[in-house]
Amino acid sequence: MTVSLKSLIAALCLSAAAAAQTTSPAATPLSLPAGNAANAGAPVPPPPTVGAKQYVLVDYQTGRVLAEQGGDERVPPASITKVMTSYVVAAERKAGKIKDSDPVTISENAWRHGGAVTDGSTSFLELNSQVLLGDLLKGMIIQSGNDASIAIAEHVAGSESTFAALMNQYADKIGLKNSHFVNAHGLFDPEHYMSAHDIAELSRALIRDFPEEYAHYALKDYTWNAHTQRNRNILLWRDPSVDGIKTGHLSQAGYCLAASAKRGDTRLIAVVMNTAGEKVRADEAHALLNYGFRFFETHKVYEAMASVSEVTLWHGDAAKAKLGVAQPALVTLPRGSYQRLAATMNVQKPLSAPLNKGQVVGTFKLALDGQTVYEAPLVALEDYAEGGFFKRMSDSVWLWFDNGE
């Protein structure tokens, strides 16, 4: 029986494909860009002892937890709730559903349950008055006004309960795992809770997604209706690198604080819950921030879409394909430990054309002392078309011999 050349090529291609399906990618070690070797091997002490019953210290860029105690325990968040409220407002504004210039009527509900007639934090809003949404937001963030929070919730969603449902939807979208909201202000309810770690993750999302909204949290005071009130985050006065975030206090929650600071290219977030007083919460959050900046550093190992490696490309119009990561490869490490960082990649085999730019072809990992500290999809950095007829034929033959064991 005569076998045509085209049939032989097809058979070889099928054989190569079948062999490839049983070939699992092996980890390939990579060389990393040179890092700072200063203080190599310097020890990292345990975090400072703080009186907060729950706390976390988180690196903003990577989300890595640098220190924690009870970070996933569900506790009353008090007025730190308002960070979630402002996130929802920023998201709804971006979607075009509301504007800062919207006039908001101060309802009896907002006035009676959050206004000056209560003993809670208030923006001193007058019953049935109209206030621009942008002004209400500043009153809520800087003055921690409960009346402003209720008025905002009613304007955005029609009622507090509907707004709370919206808060929970956004919490799910952000990925908060130990949070549930029943109001926009944080007054106590047994079904209203967050964890310190969720507060840190929410803070990361606010800073990342809505930096213009986050800028309000650095303002030290705000005047409304002849009342000037100071931001209760005293770290804004103590440390110029601190630019947020929010305080909270309830008898059931103690004194709480979520604080963020940026020094150089590194931003950290400290959350302390259930402390004994205003000064204590500031001292403890500040101690955690100072510890993080002193003993840890964030490295950008690779820029987004920078070449991590070049690997053999089969059936393509190029001999090799450039691979990288779609987002910057950032990793937070103890200072001086970069030289102990090891990189590996797992690439699907065989890597065959065509490939599209951004197509996932494997996994890139960074490990410190054997522990994975970063993992991301490995992607093609360019488009790679199929090669010509003879290139495809030649590669199919070589693949058949290479895999046909």
Q: Is residue 112 part of a domain?
A: yes
Are 138 and 160 spatial neighbours (Cβ–Cβ below 8 Å)? no
Model confidence at 91: pLDDT above 50: yes
Nearest to 324 by CA among 355, 286, 362: 362
Looking up tokens 């991301």 gives 376
Q: Is residue 142 part of a domain?
A: yes
Strand ranges (E), 31-154? 54-59, 65-69, 103-105, 130-132
Predicted TM-score of the model (pTM):
0.84
pLDDT at residue 69 in the model: 97
How does pLDDT run across 19-63, given as a tens digit for each residue? 444 345 567 888 788 765 555 567 889 999 999 999 999 999 999
pLDDT at residue 1 in the model: 45
Residue 359 domain boundaries:
5-30+303-403
Query: In the annotation, is 144 catalytic?
Result: yes
Contacts of 147 (CB under 8 A, 6+ apart): 106, 110, 111, 113, 114, 115, 116, 122, 123, 124, 125
Query: In the annotation, is 79 catalytic?
Result: yes
More confident residue, 270 or 316: 270
- In this prediction, residues 146-170 reach a mean pLDDT of 96
Query: In the annotation, is 82 catalytic?
Result: yes
Q: Within this chain, do residues 174 and 250 fall inside the same structural domain, yes or no?
A: yes
Tokens of 106: 């101060």
Domain finish residue from 249, 283, 298: 298
Domain finish residue from 232, 267, 298: 298
Q: Within this chain, do residues 150 and 288 fall inside the same structural domain, yes or no?
A: yes
Give all strands of the β-sheet with 320-324 in edge-to-edge order.
28-30, 341-347, 360-368, 371-380, 320-324, 307-312
Contacts of 137 (CB under 8 A, 6+ apart): 86, 89, 100, 148, 152, 213, 216
pLDDT at residue 313 in the model: 87
pLDDT at residue 38 in the model: 52
Separation between Cα atoms, residue 64 and residue 374, nearest integer Å: 10
Phi first, then psi: give them for residue 265, nearest 5 degrees.
-95, 0
Are 110 and 151 spatial neighbours (Cβ–Cβ below 8 Å)? yes
The total number of structural domains in the chain stands at 2
Residue burial 374-395, b: 16+ Cβ < 10 Å; e: rest: bebebbbbeebeebeeebbbeb
Model confidence at 316: pLDDT above 90: no
Give me the CATH number covering residue 227. Answer: 3.40.710.10
Q: Within this chain, do residues 134 and 262 fall inside the same structural domain, yes or no?
A: yes
- The residue annotated as part of the active site, out of 121, 144, 149, 195, is 144
Average pLDDT across the chain, whole number: 88
pLDDT at residue 124 in the model: 81
The confidence band for 402, taking pLDDT boundaries of 50, 70 and 90, is low
How does pLDDT run across 219-234, given as a tens digit for each residue? 999 887 777 889 999 9
Separation between Cα atoms, residue 350 and residue 314, nearest integer Å: 7
More confident residue, 116 or 239: 239
Q: Within this chain, do residues 131 and 240 fall inside the same structural domain, yes or no?
A: yes
Model confidence at 277: pLDDT above 50: yes
More confident residue, 14 or 202: 202
- Share of residues in the chain with pLDDT > 70 (%): 85
Separation between Cα atoms, residue 153 and residue 106, nearest integer Å: 11
More confident residue, 276 or 115: 276
The secondary structure of residue 172, as a DSSP letter, is H
Q: Is residue 280 part of a domain?
A: yes
Domain finish residue from 298, 328, 355: 298
